[in-house]
Amino acid sequence: MFTSFTNAFVPLNTTPWPPLLRGKGGQGGCWFASLTDDFVLRKEFKSGLIKTADLKKGRFAFTCQWKPDKLWDIHTPQNQYDLQLSLLNGEGNALDVFTPMRFGFREFWIDGRDFRLNGTRIFCFAVPFDNALLGAA
């Protein structure tokens, strides 16, 4: 999962369950995702019907537009959400419910000579390996 602060979306890229593509009577199914924060529901979204034609290299991708209330940052690592992903059949019954995944909503990029985290300039320093050894003596 790679969240986007600037585009305000949560993309999911998954491998569907093979029997789902055949479906009972060809009905197929979909993914259902819920995002929670300290057990409080923040957002729910559902993919479209999963069809074999939608697969790219055996994977199915869908996104949800969402701008969260709080962002993950180096100063606020506790700002995280839990994603619960379920695989539903054509009737909407859960075929499989996956273990929740914890994640922080953030985006990191390089803008010229600046590093940016969630749109804010961030300072990253590196000590060359050989200088660190010389200073240790």
Please list the pLDDT of the chain residue by residue as tens digits (137 residues): 667 666 776 777 777 655 555 554 455 788 899 999 988 999 898 888 877 777 777 778 888 888 888 889 988 999 999 999 898 887 888 888 888 999 888 888 899 999 998 888 988 776 666 655 555 55
Span 9-105 CATH architecture: Sandwich (2.60)
* Closest listed residue to residue 86, CA positions, set 30, 35, 6: 30
